[in-house]
């Protein structure tokens, strides 16, 4: 099993640009979670899906953030337009109702 796959692993962009983060969950897992991790705020849940349906997006910081899960094997988190305060590590995790398995993360730097 390849585990949760995320791409890109690192992203450097300029303020105002669109950023798209991608995630492939573990096959057979029906829940997918997007987290943001910073020193100041720790590990924050942004949004999670169950069976491809968004269940709770209350953690999405503002309208600049959007997430989709078009099928069971793919999800995206988009930031448009990006701002320097969006700089963080973004983790995707998947589960089948219990243990969550994290991807390697995307380290985002917005200049």
Partner 1 sequence: GENVEQHPSTLSVQEGDSAVIKCTYSDSASNYFPWYKQELGKRPQLIIDIRSNVGEKKDQRIAVTLNKTAKHFSLHITETQPEDSAVYFCAANDRGSTLGRLYFGRGTQLTVWP
Residues at the contact surface with partner 1, assessed by CB under 8 A: 31, 33, 42-43, 45, 48, 50, 55-56, 91, 95-105
**Closest CB to partner 1 among residues 70, 97:** 97
Residue identified by tokens 């992203």 is: 11
The CB-of-105 to partner 1 minimum distance in angstroms stands at 6
User: How many whole angstroms separate alpha carbon 36 and alpha carbon 47?
Assistant: 10
| DSSP class of 25 | P
**Closest CB to partner 1 among residues 5, 61:** 5
The CB-of-43 to partner 1 minimum distance in angstroms stands at 5
The CB-of-16 to partner 1 minimum distance in angstroms stands at 28
Cβ atoms within 10 Å, residue 3: 13
Cβ atoms within 10 Å, residue 1: 7
């Amino acid at each position: 099993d390849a585990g949760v796959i995320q791409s890109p692993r690192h992203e450097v962009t300029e303020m105002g640009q669109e950023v798209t983060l991608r995630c492939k969950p573990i096959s057979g897992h029906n829940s997918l979670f997007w987290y943001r991790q910073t020193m100041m705020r720790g590990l924050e849940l942004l949004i999670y899906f169950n069976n491809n349906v968004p269940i709770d997006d209350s953690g999405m910081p503002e309208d600049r953030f959007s997430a989709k899960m078009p099928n069971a094997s793919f999800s995206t988190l988009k930031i448009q337009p990006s701002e320097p305060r969006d700089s963080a590590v973004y983790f995707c995790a998947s589960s089948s109702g219990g243990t969550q398995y994290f991807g390697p993360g995307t380290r985002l730097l917005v200049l």
